[in-house]
């Protein structure tokens, strides 16, 4: 079975509270985008479960890949047979795009369908055990995320038919460090309220709390956002804790100015419905 785990962007991200368990409560809208990996799962003829990335077998470790962790979550309860999992990455790692979480969630969904397990609502519970935003990727539509990111509710927002330019510089942001630099606070106006305003207000009001500390430490990432606005984006933001920055445009974007970022991963696409 082959599936295509997709990335996400954050439309606004407020870090509202430090929790007693060491995590943080957030408020954000998670929006799916068409940047995708390829994930294939097949029965293991040699009766051994293995994980391959770009065709290369990855040795077992104390902290296995999230795809293997997802398999393990279902293995005991549903007596799954051994499988081979092949992952071909296009979503960059350490980018704030949820690539690893998406791989894990799509592994759960693929195994559920492949072995006809009949798991329904519990699938999000299994996903939430694997990571804060894993549960989002069980769905194929935007969600308002609260709690650690696993408390999801429907949200009426669409930037369909817009075009996205996503730029990931060769910079890795440590998520734990990024959280440590943010001062949690409940904003005066919620993301849910801002998102329902005229889209022209997003630039000034729809914020990502990680931008301040990330831009201070990495001015190049701030420059990417400024360049996206200077070339016609109606909204631009850091995604997650970075280091990816995206811009939303009303029309297809000329690629000429993107050459400014020749050292970066650049993705451009129309945002289609999910």
Is residue 133 among the annotated active site residues? yes
Choose the catalytic residue: 8, 109, 146, 207.
8
Is the omega angle on the peptide bond into residue 243 within 30 degrees of 0, that is, cis? yes
The set of residues, in sequence order, having a beta carbon less than 8 Å from that of 230 and lying 6+ positions away, is: none
Choose the catalytic residue: 36, 109, 133, 168.
133
Nearest to 9 by CA among 233, 227, 220: 233
Contacts 24+ apart (CB under 8 A), 220-227: 220/169, 220/171, 221/169, 221/171, 221/245, 224/167, 224/169, 224/261, 224/264, 227/257, 227/260, 227/261
Q: Using CA atoms, how far apart are residues 248 and 259, in angstroms rounded to an integer?
A: 18
Q: Using CA atoms, how far apart are residues 61 and 209, in angstroms rounded to an integer?
A: 34
Backbone angles phi, psi at 68, to 5 degrees: -65, -40
CA distances, 168 to each of 91, 256, 272 (Å): 10, 17, 21
Catalytic residue list: 8, 133
């Amino acid at each position: 079975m082959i599936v295509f785990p997709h990335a996400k962007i954050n439309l606004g991200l407020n870090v509202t509270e430090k929790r007693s368990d060491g995590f943080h409560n957030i408020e954000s809208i998670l929006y799916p985008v068409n940047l995708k990996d390829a994930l294939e799962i097949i029965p293991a003829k040699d009766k051994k479960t293995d994980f391959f990335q770009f065709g290369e077998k990855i040795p077992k470790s104390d902290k296995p890949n999230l795809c293997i962790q997802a398999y393990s979550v279902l293995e005991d309860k549903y007596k799954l047979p051994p499988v081979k999992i092949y992952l071909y990455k296009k979503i960059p790692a350490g980018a704030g795009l949820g690539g690893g979480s998406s791989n894990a969630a799509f592994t759960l969904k693929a195994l559920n369908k492949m072995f006809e397990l009949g798991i329904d609502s519990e699938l999000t519970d299994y996903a939430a055990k694997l990571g804060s935003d894993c549960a989002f990727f069980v769905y194929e539509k935007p969600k308002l995320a609260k709690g650690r990111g696993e408390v999801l509710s429907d949200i009426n927002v669409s930037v369909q038919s817009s075009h996205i330019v996503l730029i990931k510089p060769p910079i890795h942001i440590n998520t734990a460090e990024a959280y440590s630099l943010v001062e949690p606070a409940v904003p005066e106006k919620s993301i849910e309220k801002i998102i329902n305003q005229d889209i022209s207000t997003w630039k000034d009001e729809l914020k990502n709390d990680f931008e301040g500390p990330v831009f201070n430490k990495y001015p190049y990432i701030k420059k990417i956002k400024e360049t996206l606005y200077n070339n016609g984006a109606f909204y631009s933001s850091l995604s997650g804790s970075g280091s990816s920055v995206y811009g939303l445009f009303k029309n297809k974007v000329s690629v000429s100015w993107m050459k400014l970022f020749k050292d970066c991963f650049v993705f451009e696409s129309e945002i289609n419905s999910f």
